[in-house]
Amino acid sequence: MAKIIDGKAISLAVKDEIKAKTAELASKGITATLAVILVGEDPASQVYVKNKKKACEYCGIRSLSYELPADTSEEKLLELIDELNKRDDVNGILVQLPLPKGMDEDKVLDAISPDKDVDGFHPVNVGKLSIGKKGFVSCTPAGVIQLLKRSDIEISGKECVVVGRSNIVGKPMSMLLLKENGTVTVCHSRTKDLKEVTKRADILVVAIGKPKFIDASYVKDGAVVIDVGIHRMEDGKLCGDVDYASVEPVASAITPVPGGVGPMTIAMLMYNCLSSVCED
């Protein structure tokens, strides 16, 4: 029987800590402000943005919302980012992805000032992470580290295997585990014998975007399994990249979907917003 890592409870604890800190800052006249930009009407993005604004409200962070039509030009979007970069009363800028087809996502993300890049996607922040300097860290992998730490799971010296090499999750995840002194292996679609590698993991982080891909045959007895995936199945239920029913009996700890990594992403976004106005 695995311990179930409760991301909902842990994210709430993180948000409550942030709320206490923002209240303290408010008494000194300091407020964090996040500008959220959504281009187009992608329904999933609309839900994400709504949840981000709700979390801001809960945490005592001011949010400004920019909802632009799908046919907004890249130039107009860059102008808005430039204006927000210059505004002293805006501390964080988030452009919800994906952007409508035809927009150059890299160009748009690169236009956000690294000092306001609360998503941690700007090359400057990615570079800082890779050399162990302070900067904004991508929220989902940062959330995974919090889940492990707050569940008293030791990372130092452990075999950590990350499945997936995306810029948003896999790569920063590997950097963060390395920073915590894990021995890190990154697997991807060209990995020759995936099972052989994942079975070595004491801590297995899965972010491949394939529903229920990882079953018990990929997992060492007693491993900690973190599932970053989220998919809606035909019956309307949510599932992750891990086949939970198969893996749970062999793991020592596991994140459920929903209620595992998901809630941590927004909690860490709030953390990044708070750190945009204070040091610790």
Catalytic residues: 52, 96, 119
Among 14, 139, 187, 239, binds ligand GUN (CB under 6 A): 139
Among 34, 60, 117, 119, binds ligand GUN (CB under 6 A): 119
Contacts of 186 (CB under 8 A, 6+ apart): 161, 162, 165, 170, 171, 174
Q: What share of the chain is helix, strand, coil (3-state, %, to 5)?
A: 40, 15, 40
Cβ proximity to ligand GUN, 122 vs 158, nearer residue: 122
* Chain residues 191-220 in contact with ligand GUN, contact rule CB under 6 A: none
Please tell me the distance from the alpha carbon of residue 53 to that of residue 36, in angstroms, as a whole number: 8
| Count of residues in contact with ligand GUN, rule CB under 6 A | 7
How many CB atoms are closer than 10 A to CB 123?
Answer: 13
- 137 interacts with ligand GUN by CB under 6 A: no
SS3 259: coil
* Chain residues 89-118 in contact with ligand GUN, contact rule CB under 6 A: 94-97
Cβ proximity to ligand GUN, 125 vs 198, nearer residue: 125
Q: Which two tokens stand for residue 61?
A: 């962070």
We find the least distance from the C-beta atom of residue 244 to ligand GUN, in angstroms, to be 22
Cβ proximity to ligand GUN, 105 vs 196, nearer residue: 105
Please identify, among the stretches 6-14, 88-96, 228-236, 271-279, the one whose residues bind ligand GUN according to the rule CB under 6 A: 88-96
Cβ proximity to ligand GUN, 255 vs 265, nearer residue: 265
Alpha helices per DSSP H over the chain: 7-26, 43-59, 74-86, 105-111, 123-130, 139-150, 170-179, 194-198, 244-247, 262-275
Pairing mode, strands 224-227 and 231-232: unpaired
We find the least distance from the C-beta atom of residue 257 to ligand GUN, in angstroms, to be 15
Q: What is the x/- site pattern for ligand GUN, positions 235-274, by CB under 6 A?
A: ------------------------------x---------
Please tell me the distance from the alpha carbon of residue 70 to that of residue 91, in angstroms, as a whole number: 25
Cβ proximity to ligand GUN, 198 vs 275, nearer residue: 275
Classify each residue of 238-260 as buried b or exposed e, where b means 16 or more C-beta atoms within 10 Å of its C-beta. ebbbbbbeebbebbebbbbbebb
Q: Which residues bind ligand GUN (CB under 6 A)?
A: 94-97, 119, 139, 265
